[in-house]
Structure 1
Amino acid sequence: MLVDGRTVAVKKSKAVDEDKLEEFINEVVILSQVNHRHVVKLLGCCLETEVPVLVYEFIPNGNLFQHIHEESDDYTMIWGVRLRIAVDIAGALSYLHSAASSPIYHRDVKSTNILLDEKYRAKVSDFGTSRTVTVDQTHWTTLVSGTVGYVDPEYYGSSQYTDKSDVYSFGVVLVELITGEKPVLTLSNTKEIKGLADHFRAAMKEDKFFDIMDVRIRDACKPEQVMAVANLARRCLNSKGKKRPYMREVFAELEKISSSQEVKTEIDNGDDEEEEGMDMIVMADSWTIGITGPASSTVASSSSLDVEPLLKS
C-alpha cells in the first residue's frame, strides 16, 4: 500500500542475477514507451538495490492461466468473457506491433502473462524479454527462448523472431480459451504428450472441433462465434509465418466476431501443408536451447525461475 492509499504490485528478483537485472531494465525501457489500457502500467522502479524492484498497478484477479486451468469450477470464464479477453489481448498486441513509437515484439505471449482486473479485462504483462525494432526491421535474430507450447516453430528453426511469432503464440492462447486445455497436454487415450497447437489443428482437420471445445462454454455460447474464433486461431497457427495474419488484422477480426450476430460457422480445414510444421514438444533438444517449460510443468518457466510473481504489497 502506498502512502496515497493506492494498492500496488511489486516484482523483485529472488537472487542477484546479471541476466535478470538486464530483463528488469529492459522492462522499464519498454514500458516507458507504452501507454495502453490493456498493457499493465509500470508505476516506478528501483534498480540500485541489491536486487531490482519494479512497482506496477495492482491487478486483482490473477492471471488467465489460473482461471482457465487451475480453477475448474470458475464459471466467471463464460464464453462472452473469454471472447472479450481475446479482443483485449489482440488490441494490446496490435498496438505494440503497429501503433507504439517503435514496433515492439512481446516475445513471451502466454496465458500466465495475461492479468485480469476486477472486471475481468485483460492486461498484458512481463516485458522482460521484449524487443523494440525499427520500422523497417523485419525480424530479431536471437538465441531461441520462450515457453514450450507457445514457441513459433519457424522461429525455432531460424532463430529469427518476427511479429508473426507473437501472432503464433497468441493463437495458442486463443486455443486455450476455446478448449480449456493447457499448452502442452497428455492425450488420455494414448498418454502421448502433445502440443496443444498440433492437437487443435488435427481436430480441426478431422472435423472433430466440437469434441475438444471446453465443456464449460459448450452450453452457453454462440457456436458460430466459437467456430469463427477457432478458424482465426488456425490461421494464427500456420507453420509458415507469411501465411499468418498480422496482429492488427487479428484484432479487427475478433472485434467483428464479438459484435456480429451471424458469422461464418463452417470449419476451415486450412492448407494441408501447414500440418507439416515442427512439433515443438517431441523435438529432443527443445530443452537445451533456452526454451522453458510450460507453467503447468515441473520445469520452471522463464518468468518463474528467478523472479517472484506479481505480489500484493
Structure 2
Amino acid sequence: MKAQNLKELIVSLKSKSPPLLTFSRQELETATNNYAEDRDLGYNLYSGIDEQGRSISVKKLYDNESIINEVAVASQITNHNNILKLLGFCWETEFPTLVYEDTSNGPLFDHIIEDPWFFCCVEGRKTACPKLPWETRLRVTTEIADTLVYLHTATSNPIIHTSINPKIIYLNKDYVVKLSGFNDALWIPKGETFAETKKTWCSTFTAPEAWPSRRFTEKSDVYSFGLLSLEVLTGKETFRMTNEVSDSDLVEESEGAIHLFRRNWNKKDIEVYLNSNILKEGNKEQQMAFLGVALRCVKSKPEERPTMTEVVQELRQIKQLQPSSISCEFIKWP
C-alpha cells in the first residue's frame, strides 16, 4: 500500500464531523517530550499533552499497510465511547503520524498481568503497575463486551475485530476502555455468515475454528473475549496458565488452559488459578459467575458459545447483584 493511498484516506475523513485536525511535527515532539521513554505506551503509541492542554496519544508509523485498515474501520465506527478515536495527523514525518484521544493509563495488559519486574504507564508516566481491583475489572470487561456488540450489530455488515487481546485495549485517565487494533478487522459480506482473511498469522487468542480455515465469525470474537476474560480473572497470560501443553502451538496452549479450568471446575482448588489479590477482596460468587461466562465463551464448538449481546446481559446481572445474593442457581455452568 503506497503512502499516497493512506494520505487520500485521511484527507477524505477531514469532511467528517468533527473534522480531523492537522498537527505539526514540532507540536507532537513537544507534546510527547520528544517521544520520551516514560511516555511510551507500547505499540509505537506515546502519551502527550497538546497545546490546548488536552491529553492525546501519538502513534508513530513505520509503514502504511499495517495501519490503513485500522484508520478505515475506525472512521466508520465513531459513535461508541469505548472505541479509540482518531483526532488528527501530521504529514511532516516520513510516514504519517496519527493522533488519538487520551490513553494515558496504557494497555489493559499492564493493569491485569502480575509481573513483579514489569513497569507500565500510569497517567502518562512509567511506574510500577498498580493492578485493577475486582470491581474495575468487571466494569472494564463489560465495556469491552458492549463494544463488541456494537461492532457486530451497529452496521449493515457486522465487523469482526479478529484480534481482541489486552494489549490493544487501552485505558484513559479515568480507566475507561478505548479499543484499538483494527488493522486486521474484517467486514462480513452481505448474505454471508463469515469473513475470510489472507493473513497467515495466529495468536493465543485466535479461535480454533478460525485456524487454519482463516474464516472468522462473530463467535470468533466471542472466543477471544473469553480468553481475555480468563486473563482478567487470573492475572496470567493464557499460555502461562499451564505447562501441560507444548509451547509450539499457540492455539493448543490456549486450549490447554481452558481444559485445565474445565477439569477443575467442581474442585475446591479452582481458586488457586484465580488472581490472589482480587480473591482477597471477596466477591467470590461474582468471580465464579464471571468464570462461568468466560468458559462458555471459549467452548470448542462456535454454536455453543453465547452471543456478545448475551454476554453483556449476564455481566450486567453479575455487576448489579450483591455477592451475598448470588446463588449457585444464578451461575450458568459451562
TM-score under structure 2 length normalisation: 0.71
* 2:96 alignment counterpart: 52
Q: Unpaired runs of 5+ in structure 2? A: 1-30, 32-49, 117-127
Matches within 5 A, 1:68-87: 68-69=112-113, 72=116, 74-87=129-142
1:78 aligned partner, one-letter code: P
Distance 1:77 1:265, change over 3 A: farther
Pick aligned residue for 2:197 from 133, 139, 142: 142
* 1:121 alignment counterpart: 176
Distance 1:27 1:191, change over 3 A: closer
1:198 pairs with 2:241: no
Q: CA deviation at 1:171?
A: 0.4
* 1:209 alignment counterpart: 270
* Structure whose residues are more often helix by fraction: 2
RMSD between aligned alpha carbons? Answer: 2.5
Q: CA deviation at 1:51?
A: 1.7
1:223-265 deviation line (CA, Å, top 9, x unaligned):
1111111111111101111111111111111111111223354
Counterparts of 1:32 and 1:192 in 2: how far apart (Å)? 40
- Asked if 1 retains the 8 angstrom alpha-carbon contact of 2:102 and 2:173, the reply is no
Counterparts of 1:42 and 1:88 in 2: how far apart (Å)? 19
2:56 aligned partner, one-letter code: V
* 1:263 alignment counterpart: 326
What's the secondary structure of 2:100's corresponding residue?
strand
* 1:37 alignment counterpart: 81
* 1:24 alignment counterpart: 67
1:225 pairs with 2:286: yes
- Asked if 2 retains the 8 angstrom alpha-carbon contact of 1:26 and 1:127, the reply is yes
2:73 aligned partner, one-letter code: I
- Asked if 2 retains the 8 angstrom alpha-carbon contact of 1:172 and 1:183, the reply is yes
Counterparts of 2:109 and 2:59 in 1: how far apart (Å)? 19
- Asked if 2 retains the 8 angstrom alpha-carbon contact of 1:183 and 1:197, the reply is no
* 1:12 alignment counterpart: 60
Q: Unpaired runs of 5+ in structure 1? A: 271-313
* 1:300 alignment counterpart: none
1:18-52 deviation line (CA, Å, top 9, x unaligned):
xxx23322111111111211111111245796323
2:88 aligned partner, one-letter code: G
Counterparts of 1:120 and 1:70 in 2: how far apart (Å)? 18
Pick aligned residue for 1:159 from 214, 219, 229: 214
* 1:235 alignment counterpart: 296
Matches within 5 A, 1:293-312: none
- Asked if 2 retains the 8 angstrom alpha-carbon contact of 1:10 and 1:55, the reply is yes
> When the two structures are aligned, how many residues end up with a matched partner?
264
Between structure 1 and structure 2, the one with the greater Rg is 2
Q: CA deviation at 1:187?
A: 4.0
What's the secondary structure of 2:183's corresponding residue?
coil
- Asked if 2 retains the 8 angstrom alpha-carbon contact of 1:108 and 1:147, the reply is no
Counterparts of 2:253 and 2:183 in 1: how far apart (Å)? 25
- Asked if 1 retains the 8 angstrom alpha-carbon contact of 2:245 and 2:256, the reply is no
Among the aligned pairs, what percent are the same residue? 35
What's the secondary structure of 2:71's corresponding residue?
helix
Q: CA deviation at 1:119?
A: 2.1
- Asked if 1 retains the 8 angstrom alpha-carbon contact of 2:195 and 2:217, the reply is yes
* 1:111 alignment counterpart: 166
1:167-199 deviation line (CA, Å, top 9, x unaligned):
1111011000111111211746x6964724532
